[in-house]
Amino acid sequence: MSLSEITSLQNTLNSALDVFKAELAAQNLSEPSLNTSKPHPIDDIAYLPTPAMFEARRVALASLGLLRSLVQSPYDALAANTWMTLESASVRLAAEVDIAGVLANSEDGVSIDEIAQRTDIDGLKLERALRLLVSQGWFREPKHGYFANNRLSNVIKKGHPGFHLATYMNDLFNKVTVGFSEMINHPDPNFRKNTDPLHTAFQLSYKTEVAFFGADGWLTKDPEEAIKFGLSMGAVGPTSDPGVAADFRWAEIARGKDAIVDVGGGQGTLCCSLAAKYPEIKQFIVQDLPETRAAAESFIESKGFSDKVKFEAQDFFKPQRRKGKYVFVMQRGTFPFSNKYI
């Protein structure tokens, strides 16, 4: 007799959780808790899960997602989907006024009156946003009206890479989604059927004619914006860089070559991870648009690799300037572009 969908997913989830717990135990790590303000070692952006733990996480989250769709009322799912933008807007608010910094390491929580006073925000308004966040797993409310950090809220503290994702990138995506449906279903067929970088949700939402990336584009015209974009990417690359660095034999791949070149390399997080793990590789080049130079060079310097990781302006739609023996790498670089341009 075949298993029901729920039973099959339940079994899959249980097996994945068993592996997850066993992997924690094998690394002498406690289970993560939602009842403490302390970050867990696996929350470190540079933490490298074992392949078994990575897979267990992936399978557990996938089965949880499917179980949710099986168990939840579709109307509740639709309502939650309709209002989910308020969750990301509340995360942005919390990051902008650094609620996580105000709560710091307090385990018992800080009263809403004190938070309101320290952020100079109306307590009643703020309390509603914080409670929404608590209900979605951000922050804790250890006793009524007292709020504390948890492993999710810790990553949006000022000074952490996640702060830039929760502020600048959150705001960018929130605004771009306003024009998203119109981009695909535009009343003008010339716009609707155009897939170039000048006919996107970005132009509609920002009421501009320039492209986001590229010469004369949005980021080029506003260097401050380009730095914030670069900093936001600093919370994306480093989550996968340790795995990418571990999963390939980079030293062998780079042997006899002039350098590893990361095309559209952003801040240079991958090159810095590779430089740290493979000291025998002598030269890395991060190629990206000129406006990202400042964020990249300051990140590379902060990692202490300015001598071997060099930034170089290179538009990846233009002929490659490097003609020697190079290893070219590209990750997450082309997804904003239609297949026609890649």
SS (H, E, C) 252-286: HHHCCCCEEEEECCCCCHHHHHHHHHCCCCCCEEE
**8 Å CB contact between 97 and 119:** yes
CA–CA separation, 339 vs 199, rounded Å?
Answer: 15
Binding mask 283-312 for ligand SAM (x = CB under 6 A): -----xx--x--------------------
Q: How far is the CB of 239 from ligand SAM (least distance, A)?
A: 9
Q: How far is the CB of 195 from ligand SAM (least distance, A)?
A: 16
Q: What is the bridge-based pairing of β-strands 259-263 and 326-329?
A: parallel
CA–CA separation, 43 vs 23, rounded Å?
Answer: 15
Q: Should residue 109 be labelled a site residue for ligand SAM when binding is judged by CB under 6 A?
A: no
Classify 240 in phi/psi space as left (phi over 0), alpha (psi -120 to 50) or beta: alpha
Q: How far is the CB of 120 from ligand SAM (least distance, A)?
A: 35
Q: How far is the CB of 328 from ligand SAM (least distance, A)?
A: 12
Closer residue to ligand SAM in complex, CB, 179/237: 237
Closer residue to ligand SAM in complex, CB, 149/273: 273
Q: Should residue 264 be labelled a site residue for ligand SAM when binding is judged by CB under 6 A?
A: yes
Closer residue to ligand SAM in complex, CB, 49/217: 217
Burial class of residue 71 (count of CB atoms within 10 Å of its CB; 0-12, 13-18, 19+): exposed
In the window 214-253, what residues touch ligand SAM (CB under 6 A)?
A: 214, 233, 236-237
Q: Should residue 316 be labelled a site residue for ligand SAM when binding is judged by CB under 6 A?
A: yes
Task: List contacts with ligand SAM (CB under 6 A).
Answer: 213-214, 233, 236-237, 264-266, 269, 288-289, 292, 315-317, 331-333
